[in-house]
Amino acid sequence: MTHYSNPVLDADWPDPDAVRVGDDYWLIASSFNRAPGLPVLHSRDLVSWEHVANALPALPPAGHYALPRHGSGVWAPSLRHHDGLFWIVYPDPDHGIFVLTAADPRGPWSEPWCLLPGKGLIDPCPLWGDDGRAYLVHGWAKSRAGVKNRLTVVEVDPGLRRPVGPARTVIDGDELAGFRTLEGPKLYQRDGWYWIFAPAGGVSTGWQTAFRSRSVWGPYEHRVVLAQGDTPVNGPHQGAWVDTPDGDDWFLHFQDRDAFGRVVHLQPMTWDDGGWPVLGDGGSPVLTHPTPVEGAEPGEPVRSDDFAVPGLAHRWHWQANPADGWAVADGGGTLRLPAQPSPRGNLRDQGAVLCQQLPGQPSTWETRVDLTGDAPGTRAGVVVLGREYAWAGLVRTPVGVEMTVRRGGTYGDEETVAQEPVPAGATGVVVRAAVDAEGLVTWAWRADTAGADAGWHEPAPPWRAVVGHWIGAEVGLFASAPVGADLRPDDGGTFGPVRVTVAGKEA
């Protein structure tokens, strides 16, 4: 009997939702300010996943998200299959609740439309009921709406174009002993009951609750169905109930791991004699369990990239809606990033930083970096980006090109931690970021001189990766220059293949 270990997706896939259609499972996650957004993952066994698409090429409104809006954008989305279409309903807490559809989850996806405008409406989930009517449940963000800890249901038309009735609060967490930050609802029907699965108690410290009622409008009774207990899985949070073709039930949820983000766990799910769901091992998360499909081999999405295919792979995303010319990926084995003006020189301000999630296991990222351009201050390198960041790469100085390690924060100027000359005759440098199990990043570099590999230099002490705004830390590539620099179109950075190992294996 084959087993899997949790998390099944050990990287930042926040607020997952999933559906099964036939023998295929599809999963989406929050993407916040990153573009393209709304990643779509595919599996045939719930333990091996492939990143196959991004449903949202750019966030609306386009002009608003032309700049990095850390913590805004796509919050917890839902994914459903109805009437031959896949439906994604996602909230933007500053603009409203949006919908997009596709016949195939791999795309193309429709342009999103706004179902419910407004601030603070979050975590929506639709249900096409057995009564032939459609409903939407959502939560509230106090930072925008002034209220939270409550769940609201509104009837909508079956095409999810408009509300057709008044919104009603169906569960008020303030009326439930010990409840705080009730959010992330998912709405289902089973055996004559309406079910709302929703977490409460906070992302890092909370629990998962199941609510049920004979009417979508309530009243709802509830039970806590998944909590940390004596396991290391803190705050098992919102997710998705899915079934298998054989009728078994499973639950996907996330765990917040700070700089490593919101990683995804898979829990077995059964039902007790009273018709209530039992998640994990009697309500506690399992760490290992037999796979849903015998013989299934757990696996995570690919991270390495040899840039041998034109265009950017699905695994890459920017920090804002991309502009034409941010990347040149012609399939020749390298990626070129033209230098982008950086008003403050702070990489958190720069949309043109091309990133992936930081894996939850020790990882090593390695790529060759070349820098073109004579303007002092032009730079290119590898960054580990969160609320604070550090990068290693090349910078043009008045006297030449130097290898640099710098650190930056949410505000203010960068701090130079190390700066070393690149040997004369070097045709480029190879930069390596090694991240350990605690999130400590050790930078190293070596010169590529006349085709011979020089020894590795570790120019700076280890630095601890820092969580982002609602997301984990990311690993990225960038090229930038001071505002007003005299740049040519080919000035910037060129990156060789990106090689990533996770827990000692190439990923």
Which residues participate in catalysis according to the annotation? 15, 183
Give which of 100, 161, 148 is closest to 122, Cα–Cα.
148
Query: At a CB cut-off of 8 Å and minimum separation 6, what does 177 contact?
Result: none
Do 378 and 346 touch, CB atoms closer than 8 A?
A: no
CA–CA separation, 367 vs 385, rounded Å?
17
Peptide bond before residue 322 is cis, with ω within 30 degrees of 0: no
Encoded tokens for 494:
């060129």
Q: Which residue has the tokens 């765990």?
A: 255
Q: Which residues pair with 445 in a beta bridge?
A: 431, 457
Do 420 and 458 touch, CB atoms closer than 8 A?
A: no
How many CB atoms are closer than 10 A to CB 354? 23
Question: Residue 128: CA atoms inside 13 Å, Cβ hemisphere, count?
Answer: 14
Encoded tokens for 418:
């190390």
CA-to-CA separations, 379 to 26, 176, 367, 474, in angstroms, rounded: 39, 54, 15, 19
Query: At a CB cut-off of 8 Å and minimum separation 6, what does 429 contact?
Result: 368, 369, 394, 403, 422, 445, 446, 447, 448
Q: CA quadruple 507, 240, 172, 224: dihedral positive or negative?
A: negative
Query: At a CB cut-off of 8 Å and minimum separation 6, what does 461 contact?
Result: none
Do 9 and 17 touch, CB atoms closer than 8 A?
A: no
Q: In which element (H, E) is residue 441 found?
A: strand 440-449
Show the DSSP H helices in 151-288 as ranges: none
CA 456 to chain centre: 32
Q: Which residues pair with 364 in a beta bridge?
A: 434, 501
